[in-house]
């Protein structure tokens, strides 16, 4: 899977295993379809490196933590991220 323009710092699979989220030094979070390896979403909003990502147990939310001192929650629907 290619797309980030800097180092990847963290990844997490959705509970159903269909999605992979990645956090990067390019200040973005990306969500990927595991089967097709296609990028489904590029989440922007952090102003510094994103260090971590984690799906909620139900898979409806994705949390990201950044060196900008914020944690963001993103709505995720695996059918149409």
Exposed (0-12), middle (13-18) or buried (19+): which is 3, by Cβ within 10 Å? middle
Phi, psi of 79 (to 5 degrees): -75, -30
Assign 1 a pLDDT band (cuts: 50, 70, 90): low
| C-alpha–C-alpha distance, residues 67 and 51, integer Å | 7
Is the pLDDT confidence value at 18 over 80?
A: yes
Global confidence as pTM: 0.89
Per-residue model confidence as pLDDT tens digits over 49-68: 999 999 999 999 999 999 99
pLDDT of residue 79: 46
3-state secondary structure 64-76: EEECCCCEEEEEC
DSSP run (H or E) holding 22: strand 19-24
Phi, psi of 53 (to 5 degrees): -140, 150
């Amino acid at each position: 899977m290619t797309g980030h323009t800097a180092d990847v710092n963290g990844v997490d699979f959705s509970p159903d295993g269909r999605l992979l989220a990645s956090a990067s030094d390019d200040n973005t979070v990306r969500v990927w379809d595991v089967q097709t390896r296609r990028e489904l979403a590029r989440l922007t909003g952090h102003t510094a490196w994103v260090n971590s990502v984690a799906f909620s147990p139900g898979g409806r939310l994705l949390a990201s933590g950044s060196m900008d001192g914020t944690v963001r929650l993103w709505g995720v629907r695996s059918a149409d991220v």
